[in-house]
Structure 1
């Protein structure tokens, strides 16, 4: 049977299926790359492994991404940096106190990023940035700087509204980031071990938030007396 006859007999349904498969490939490649980057690190992940996991050839991968570095950048944009527009929009429309906003920001981060594979990118960058300065500069520009700016906006909102004490914003950002980074590192290291079962992320976050707010807020509402310690 000739090639031309085969092509003529290709049904519209088959063509549609092929087009759908082609359009799905970038997403499949990004998902496979995230899986392997988080599991093995950037240096140890090979392009052919990503392609195999995604069910395509290595050549197909390079049709969409020019190099492994470009693939990594696309993974970061897909899972983290591409979401800053959405997060800044939420800042603009948030109704409520800045304490509530900070609670929302940290818990939402855990639900959307921290508890997912995407948080493994943080661990990857901390361990491999020194070996890949171009990727480190990219991550600084695409993730770290926008992240710091967003947290500074939250803290400055509290100061401007008289809800938070004035602080050095440069270092105030790290007060908020520290527990988030700890959880990201913990999840992709000791968090996978039974020995760390006592740490419940949601409970840890709740304690960290209230501790941070205790230091930031200009006035703390009095705690109601407990039955064991009645008010005098």
Structure 2
């Protein structure tokens, strides 16, 4: 006798799991790619490895991402550049002083990105940019330029409100970026290899950097009672 066909409601559980998994595959592929890009770098990561870690075939990966370059771009958009709309909205809605805004910027960058595996993308870009100029150009356009623009908006806000003294905004932006870049590189290079006594406490490091920035940027009258502690969640 022929095997009866089960109605959809009676399909086995493993069919349901496969259906759900098919829908989840792009996210699983991006998560696997992020892990491998951070662990091994761009050149050393093979698409076969990404597919295997995500539990799909290489052909399935190429259904979603036509090349390793496009896969990398999707990882950056998913984890970094796709968040700028939210960050710019936070800038528009922020009601505190510019000192508080800059403090919020540094500490929340660490909590949201710097302390996560995503910050390893920066090390990848800095180490492999010359070999992959397309990736370097993409990262500059999608991450660095919007990030610099946002920080410049913070500094200009402070000057316009009389909280910060006049400054060269181009280099003021780099002064804010410097401790963020250092922490990200430290986390994914020397940091894991150092003995306990040589380790950095990220929050203390950022507080020290913020103290230097505030004394460099601020008008003398605004230096009293500045808070350098991490903002409350």
TM-score (norm 1): 0.90
Is 1:83 the counterpart of 2:83? The answer is yes
Q: What residue number does 1:36 align with?
A: 36
Give 1:221 shift.
1.7
Give 1:21 shift.
0.7
Is 1:221 the counterpart of 2:220? The answer is no
- Distance in 2 (CA, whole Å) between partners of 1:167 and 1:208 is 18
- Distance in 1 (CA, whole Å) between partners of 2:122 and 2:12 is 43
Residue deviations 1:207-232, cap 9 Å, x none? 10111011001022279xxxxxxxxx
Q: What residue number does 2:229 align with?
A: none
- Distance in 1 (CA, whole Å) between partners of 2:172 and 2:152 is 8
Give 1:13 shift.
6.1
Change (3 A) 1:162 1:6: farther
- Distance in 2 (CA, whole Å) between partners of 1:203 and 1:6 is 68
What is the total number of aligned residue pairs between the two structures? 221
- Where 2:162 maps in the other structure, the secondary structure is coil
Change (3 A) 1:201 1:61: same
- Distance in 2 (CA, whole Å) between partners of 1:198 and 1:46 is 33
Change (3 A) 1:121 1:206: same
Q: What residue number does 1:63 align with?
A: 63
Is 1:204 the counterpart of 2:225? The answer is no
Change (3 A) 1:218 1:20: same
Is 1:106 the counterpart of 2:106? The answer is yes
Give 1:7 shift.
6.3
Structure 1: gaps of 5 or more residues: 224-232
Change (3 A) 1:80 1:222: closer
Give 1:20 shift.
1.3
Residue deviations 1:51-80, cap 9 Å, x none? 111111111111110000000000000110
- Where 1:130 maps in the other structure, the secondary structure is coil
| Ranges of 4+ aligned residues in structure 1 off by more than 2 Å | 5-19, 194-198
Change (3 A) 1:222 1:89: closer
Are the aligned partners of 2:191 and 2:199 in contact in 1 as well (CA < 8 Å)?
no
Give 1:190 shift.
1.0
- Distance in 2 (CA, whole Å) between partners of 1:36 and 1:7 is 42
Are the aligned partners of 2:152 and 2:169 in contact in 1 as well (CA < 8 Å)?
yes
Q: What residue number does 1:180 align with?
A: 180
Structure 2: gaps of 5 or more residues: 227-233
Residue deviations 1:138-170, cap 9 Å, x none? 111100110000000000000000000111111
Change (3 A) 1:24 1:42: same
- Where 1:131 maps in the other structure, the secondary structure is coil
- Where 1:66 maps in the other structure, the secondary structure is coil
TM-score (norm 2): 0.90
